[in-house]
Structure 1
């Protein structure tokens, strides 16, 4: 691929950053998908982006299938390339977008994994509150469940983002979209205990001052990978045989709200979803809840 084509891709990257406010992680994902397609173009002896046709797209989809890519991964790659060509069309670099005529691979529908309240209780009791890291772990767990925020939003929290007076946290989400999320009393109490105790101890190990709420043992802002490691340790300490991740906590937050009667629009706002369709995956009903509804409402239950 010649230098002009690479310059077009660089322009697309800048467009994602400046106009779309995409995160570095999102942009990196886009560029990886484009690099994969560039390899396909080289294999097919296609020199320029403008030469890609609908037939080439069909061949690419077939290759993704034959190589065993999951439907979700294939759909993401096609979506990325569709966005690239939409940008190139806008800039008059290409005359057609060959990806608009291709349908995305049908996604497998899976119910989101979540935790039951009994499992959560065991998790909340696991951290050792006599240690700074234990206090941090308890506060972290409470915040993830109380607010349903993404792991990227969680690690970006600063102490000043917590408003203890009115019980909210200030969250910067995808595309730098900002929102306020209510936070419950259990989480507030855990955060206060951590800030007044464990965080101060962890901060003493820091090489430089930080406003970060959640710190690692070196006194620096905890990373997304660090949060996953913390959750794995909590599960192990609680002797639970469940898979847990920050996203499972987010699923649990949404599922419990809807099962207790919260409306979909409110949950959408709390999760920071742009589209209601993203929230609708949580409208599944647990078996226990389904049985309760049946027993309470069926005339001959």
Structure 2
């Protein structure tokens, strides 16, 4: 079993270019399934049949897993057995007919424009911390890049001539994302007055922490939580909130869906279409709040 799993994980790494964290999640899901198989007395991955797959799904429900967790585990196993069929290790995918539980549809949370302004105001100041935080916030809002993508940016990725940043996204796919004047000025100020004072060592990461090392995903989340607190907003920040805000504001102001898809680095348009529901809901609430006969 271990040999088949390792072959699959290597396939995800080499051919699919999945990130180490994504591969780790696949491995955890597969390990969980192996434990279930051993409990059922099944010692070979290729001996699994459709009824065993159904039994595993029932076991997940009995353990009261969230629908999103069940959905992810089933998806991981579908991919794994699809790989085994492709490698001619078995004839049929036992998970191909297993019902994929629908995830709860939640509209992405975002900041309204006046809330964004309060966030920027909370970063105004002349300390190294304020200058760095404003540059970070401006770039995240200007580009809609993921927190993980932001933490991986290096100095060479910023092009002030064309006002673009080279971003390495999921599956190591690269894309150029433009940024505006506000972000440009904030980043230049950070580079001219702050980064060289803070940085320690020879690393080329764009954003650094107050100890001089590269700013991590966790560090960025901590900064955003601190800014939220200083702006006296009641939101609970999550890593994608500025990304959601970027997409929602673009669509609300007339941007076309395909352009937003490209800027976000989404492989499928359906991922971007989520934000059209957000803008429609916002319009509905505005109508109900302001129309005399609503």
TMscore range, shorter length? over 0.9
Note if 1:199 corresponds to 2:195: yes
Which of the residues 119, 122, 140 maps onto 1:126? 122
- Alignment coverage as a number of residue pairs: 292
Secondary structure of residue in 1 paired with 2:240: helix
Once the two structures are TM-superposed, the CA of residue 287 in structure 1 deviates from its matched residue by: 5.5
Once the two structures are TM-superposed, the CA of residue 132 in structure 1 deviates from its matched residue by: 1.2
TM-score, normalised on structure 2?
0.94
TM-score, normalised on structure 1?
0.92
Note if 1:17 corresponds to 2:13: yes
Distance 1:292 1:261 in 2: 17
Distance 2:56 2:280 in 1: 40
Q: What whole-Å deviation, never above 9, does each CA across 1:200-246 have from its counterpart, x for those lacking one?
A: 1111xx1x211110101221111111111111111111111112223
Which of the residues 45, 48, 56 maps onto 1:49? 45
- Quote the residue 2:33 is aligned against: 37
Two-structure CA RMSD over aligned residues (Å): 1.9
Which sits farther off after the overlay, 287-296 or 232-241?
287-296
Which sits farther off after the overlay, 248-257 or 237-246?
237-246
Q: What whole-Å deviation, never above 9, does each CA across 1:29-56 have from its counterpart, x for those lacking one?
A: 1101111111111111111101111111
Contact map agreement 1:169 1:183 (CA 8 A) in 2: yes
Distance 2:89 2:5 in 1: 11
Secondary structure of residue in 1 paired with 2:176: strand
Once the two structures are TM-superposed, the CA of residue 69 in structure 1 deviates from its matched residue by: 1.2
Once the two structures are TM-superposed, the CA of residue 294 in structure 1 deviates from its matched residue by: 9.2
Distance 2:21 2:132 in 1: 26
- Quote the residue 2:266 is aligned against: 273
Secondary structure of residue in 2 paired with 1:154: helix
Secondary structure of residue in 1 paired with 2:98: coil
- Quote the residue 1:90 is aligned against: 86
Once the two structures are TM-superposed, the CA of residue 159 in structure 1 deviates from its matched residue by: 1.4
Which of the residues 138, 141, 147 maps onto 1:142? 138
Secondary structure of residue in 1 paired with 2:175: strand
Contact map agreement 1:50 1:95 (CA 8 A) in 2: no
Once the two structures are TM-superposed, the CA of residue 286 in structure 1 deviates from its matched residue by: 5.6
Distance 1:269 1:56 in 2: 41
- Quote the residue 1:26 is aligned against: 22
- Quote the residue 2:181 is aligned against: 185
Note if 1:252 corresponds to 2:245: yes
| Gapped regions of structure 1 (runs ≥ 5) | none
Which sits farther off after the overlay, 273-282 or 128-137?
128-137
| Gapped regions of structure 2 (runs ≥ 5) | none
- Quote the residue 1:224 is aligned against: 217
Once the two structures are TM-superposed, the CA of residue 94 in structure 1 deviates from its matched residue by: 2.2
In the superposition, relative to structure 1, how do residues 111 and 151 fare at CA in structure 2: closer, same or farther (>3 Å)? same
Once the two structures are TM-superposed, the CA of residue 86 in structure 1 deviates from its matched residue by: 0.9
Once the two structures are TM-superposed, the CA of residue 128 in structure 1 deviates from its matched residue by: 4.8
- Quote the residue 1:209 is aligned against: 202
- Quote the residue 2:167 is aligned against: 171
Secondary structure of residue in 2 paired with 1:169: strand
Distance 1:287 1:272 in 2: 24
Q: What whole-Å deviation, never above 9, does each CA across 1:58-83 have from its counterpart, x for those lacking one?
A: 11111211212111111111111111
Note if 1:72 corresponds to 2:68: yes
Note if 1:116 corresponds to 2:112: yes
Distance 1:253 1:157 in 2: 19
Contact map agreement 1:49 1:94 (CA 8 A) in 2: no
Note if 1:161 corresponds to 2:157: yes
